[in-house]
Amino acid sequence: MGTKTHIYQAPETLFRQCARRILELAASTLQTQDYFHIALAGGTTPRALYQQLSRLHSEEFPHWDRVRFYFGDERNVPPDHQQSNYRMVRESLFQPLQIKDSAIQRIRGELSPEEAVSHYRQALEQLPQENGTARFDLVLLGIGADGHIASLFPNTPLLQEQQQGIGASYVDKLECWRYSLTLPVLNNARHIIMLVSGAKKADVVRHVFHGPGTAEPLPVQMLDHDKVEWYLDADAARFLDEECEA
Ligand code: 6PG
């Protein structure tokens, strides 16, 4: 598959090594660009990663003022809601590192789908563009057990969006609206890191790496595999043949 895979025995090691890789990409990008543009993942897994990143502040990466933070997706909730991805990142990364609000472009989950999408469309226009599409230096993603990425869920119209970089999707099984970057933007990124932890993800990881190929590819399988670096712990990777790195 030509996919770069990093597997670590312990989740703590996974998060630390993934944090180091993010900072390595940021440092190399900043040698030729003024800013490093990252789209952050939501959910529960990345909280520990963000906490690791905030601990690597001074000694390993003194350039946080040159990072511009975006979000891969958001729930239709206010920014202080328990379910808000922005709230999770604010608590685990932005506050510890004292990131300025001007460096953060959150998806306005408190707004209606039309308003939230319109606002974020303008935010994406401020990014460097490539192929007429916003170009992130790095997109960080998690994966759902159903193979969803960001808020691109199987069998939803937003998965097929090829023009707009951001969209809204009513997710029946969650009975809520979700806002998400679309595949054209995700696949336009220079790098994609997929962060996966825990035994609950082992089946979907096996499906991605070893099939069976389903008639409809899972959302995660619609990513540009050459750009994806997989960071997994041993529980999530238990059906893979690749060796653990530590
Ligand atoms: C979200 C995320 C979503 C997440 C997966 C995995 O808003 O929930 O962006 O795509 O990455 O659902 O979530 P967990 O990390 O909680 O397993």
What's the one-letter identity of residue 201? Answer: K
First-to-last alpha carbon distance for the chain, in angstroms, is: 23
pLDDT at res. 3: 66
Q: Is the CB of 45 under 6 A from ligand 1?
A: yes
Distance 240 CA to ligand 1 centre (A): 22
In a domain, 240, yes or no: no
pLDDT at res. 106: 98
Beta-strand relationship, 4-8 and 228-233: parallel
Question: What's the total number of domains in the chain?
Answer: 1
For the chain, which ranges sit under pLDDT 50?
1
pLDDT at res. 34: 98
Q: Is the CB of 165 under 6 A from ligand 1?
A: no
Which ligand 1 atom is at minimum distance from the Cα of 148? 10
In a domain, 246, yes or no: no
pLDDT at res. 58: 67
* Cα–Cα distance list, 151 to 1, 92, 117, 240 (Å): 25, 21, 13, 26
In a domain, 20, yes or no: yes
Please count the CA atoms within 13 angstroms of the CA of 64 that sit on its side-chain side: 19
In a domain, 196, yes or no: yes
Q: What residue owns the CA closest to ligand 1's atom 8?
A: 43
In a domain, 165, yes or no: yes
In a domain, 239, yes or no: no
The CATH number given to whatever domain includes residue 153 is: 3.40.50.1360
In a domain, 242, yes or no: no
Helix ranges (DSSP H) in 30-112: 46-55, 57-60, 85-89, 95-97
Expressed as residue numbers, the domain containing 184 is: 5-233
pLDDT at res. 1: 46
In a domain, 241, yes or no: no
pLDDT at res. 2: 55
